[in-house]
Amino acid sequence: MALADLVGILGVTHNPLMWSVLQHSVPDDLARVAANFEHLRSVVSDLAPDAIVLVASDHFHMLMMSNMPAFMIGKAPMMRATFPNEVRHFGLSPNQVIGDPALAAHLLGGRGLAPGMDFAFSDEPWLDHSFLVPLLLLTPELEVPVVPIITNCNAPPIPTAARFAELGLHLRAAIDSAASDRRVLLVGSGHLAHELGGPRQFLGTSPDPDFDRKAVSWMADGNLEEAVAATTFDRLTEAGNESYQFLNFITCLAAAGGRAATFAEGTPTRFGALPFFSWEVP
Amino acid sequence: MSRYMVNKLMWEVDRSNDALALFKADPADFLDSWESLALSPNPPCPAGGSLTGDEREAIEAHDFGSLYAMGANPFLLWQFARSVSVPDETSIERLVDSFREAVEPHGYPDFFT
């Protein structure tokens, strides 16, 4: 039986204001960001994935505190992307993203929900900018089917870092055991130190450069243990009240077996340091 | 204090262009209708919701500092602030400054619901 193959792991920003600026021009402070995306687009193109498993966090667009799952897997053949308020705020255009229901069902656990993970699922996921922006920048034609893994990083209590690591281990094992001859790319999207709606938003620089430096080194050095131990809710809040989405990169690091990233950078911009990570999967 | 209800109100106003237009046209009227939809004063409320007097006052007055201090979700609060104020009342640049001034004294309040 042919098994699926995890061919690569990437971690990227989804900052919608960054995306919005890049639609018009590439200002000096975003030149490196544009170059990093160009590099990762070529990585994706070379890897030629048949499917992308994308770990990111809905920002109260599809999900609200009326019903807030910790981890949800979307398993529809076609998914709507972006919302009217994101069109208004960021200039995104309504889009459609192809899904991969068979792979999604396998990641959920097949005929029984995966032990220990307790995923929620959606047969009608609707993706916000945290999914659409990375896809538009990595696969501009949106031609590769996507399994969205929607993590709660915005409505506390959020899952602990250890749970995000377990999610990574689960995804790795599940992808490796999928009974289909598919090339699967894992992508995580989140932030380094980042703040929105608090005193340190839009400072023109990072709210916590020390966190950024450590966070990038955990990925560059392959230090999963320290990353998990350090990223408590309170430490992440100290880094900025949107920094919880860094946890999606812990999922990537765990899926990479805790190995060092081959590319790890917090690119300084007017929006703070924007994350770029890439792991080779032997 | 009903953080969830404040979050829900801000969420419902921002997410729909129609709701935003109605809220901007007449916040008091919008809130009257919204509160009358609630089936009970606390969740679960399938439609509408219920606010305390302080919350309602802060929302009608665009008092983002008070809402922040009460534990409104910062992400929802910023999106709401931006939607209801820009561009009619102020520019995005001026909102960034006035918002920072309003929330800064309150540090990082607990925003668990």
CB-based contact (8 Å) between B94 and chain A?
A: no
Say if the Cβ atoms of A197 and B68 lie within 8 Å.
yes
Write down the pLDDT at residue B41.
54
Say if the Cβ atoms of A65 and B4 lie within 8 Å.
yes
Q: Distance between CA B38 and CA B42 in Å, rounded?
A: 8
Q: How far is A256 from chain B (nearest CA, A)?
A: 31
State yes or no: pLDDT of B1 exceeds 60. Answer: no
pTM (2 d.p.): 0.97
The three-point CA angle A186-A190-A194 to 5° equals 165
Count contacts between A and B (CB, < 8 Å).
71
The number of angstroms, rounded, from the C-alpha of B42 to the middle of its chain's C-alpha atoms is 17
Which residue among A64, A84, A197 sits closest to B11, beta carbon to beta carbon? A64
Write down the pLDDT at residue A140.
97
Amino acid at A180: S
Q: How far is B53 from chain A (nearest CA, A)?
A: 22
Selected residues 185-204 of chain A with any CB under 8 Å from a CB in chain B: 195-199, 201-202
Closest CA to B112 of B81, B84, B72: B72
Q: What is the ipTM of this complex?
A: 0.95
Residue A75: pLDDT band by 50, 70, 90 thresholds? very high
The three-point CA angle B60-B64-B69 to 5° equals 120
Cα separations in angstroms, A165 against A160, A169, A257: 9, 6, 10
Average pLDDT over residues A62-83: 97
Residue B39: pLDDT band by 50, 70, 90 thresholds? low
CB-based contact (8 Å) between A154 and chain B?
A: yes
Provide, as residue numbers in chain A, all residues whose Cβ is less than 8 Å from the Cβ of B16: 84-85
Q: Name the packing angle between helices B27-37 and B3-15 (round to 10°).
A: 120
Which residue among A66, A157, A198 sits closest to B112, beta carbon to beta carbon? A157
Which residue among B17, B76, B99 sits closest to A84, beta carbon to beta carbon? B17
Selected residues 118-147 of chain A with any CB under 8 Å from a CB in chain B: none
Write down the pLDDT at residue A92.
97
Average pLDDT over residues A73-95: 97
Write down the pLDDT at residue B43.
54
Q: Where are the alpha helices (DSSP H) in chain B?
A: 3-15, 17-25, 27-37, 53-60, 64-69, 74-85, 92-103
Strand order in the sheet with A78-81: A95-98, A78-81, A126-127
Amino acid at A212: D
What is the domain partition of chain B in residue ranges? 3-106
Say if the Cβ atoms of A61 and B15 lie within 8 Å.
yes
A230-280 pLDDT, tens digit per residue, is: 999 999 999 999 999 999 999 999 999 999 999 999 999 999 999 999 999
Percent of chain A at pLDDT > 70 equals 99
Q: Pairing between strand A263-269 and A51-56?
A: unpaired
Residue that the structure tokens 């893994």 belong to: A149
CB-based contact (8 Å) between B69 and chain A?
A: no
A196-211 pLDDT, tens digit per residue, is: 999 999 999 999 999 9
Cα separations in angstroms, B14 against A18, A77, A150, A259: 21, 29, 21, 42
Interface test with A, best of B64, B73, B83, B91 (most A CBs within 10 A): B73
State yes or no: pLDDT of B25 exceeds 80. Answer: yes
Task: Note whether A18 and A90 are within 8 A (CB).
Answer: no
CB-based contact (8 Å) between A241 and chain B?
A: yes
Write down the pLDDT at residue B42.
55
CB-based contact (8 Å) between A45 and chain B?
A: no
For A65, which residue in chain B has the nearest alpha carbon?
B4
Provide, as residue numbers in chain B, all residues whose Cβ is less than 8 Å from the Cβ of A59: 75
Which residue among B7, B11, B103 sits closest to A198, beta carbon to beta carbon? B103
Q: Distance between CA A215 and CA A211 in Å, rounded?
A: 6
Provide, as residue numbers in chain B, all residues whose Cβ is less than 8 Å from the Cβ of A63: none
Q: Pairing between strand A272-280 and A263-269?
A: antiparallel
Say if the Cβ atoms of B8 and A65 lie within 8 Å.
yes
Cα maximum dimension of chain B: 40
Task: Note whether B66 and B81 are within 8 A (CB).
Answer: no
Residue B48: pLDDT band by 50, 70, 90 thresholds? confident
The structural domains of chain A, ordered by start, are 5-199+208-240+248-280 (3.40.830.10)
State yes or no: pLDDT of A3 exceeds 80. Answer: no
Write down the pLDDT at residue A129.
98
A93-149 pLDDT, tens digit per residue, is: 999 999 999 999 999 999 999 998 999 999 999 999 999 999 999 999 999 999 999
Write down the pLDDT at residue B45.
54
Helices (H) and strands (E) in chain A, counts: 10, 11
Task: Note whether A99 and A79 are within 8 A (CB).
Answer: yes
CATH for the B3-106 domain, from 1.10.10, 1.10.443, 3.90.1570, 1.10.700: 1.10.700
The three-point CA angle A256-A63-A157 to 5° equals 65
The number of angstroms, rounded, from the C-alpha of B88 to the middle of its chain's C-alpha atoms is 17
Residue B68: pLDDT band by 50, 70, 90 thresholds? very high
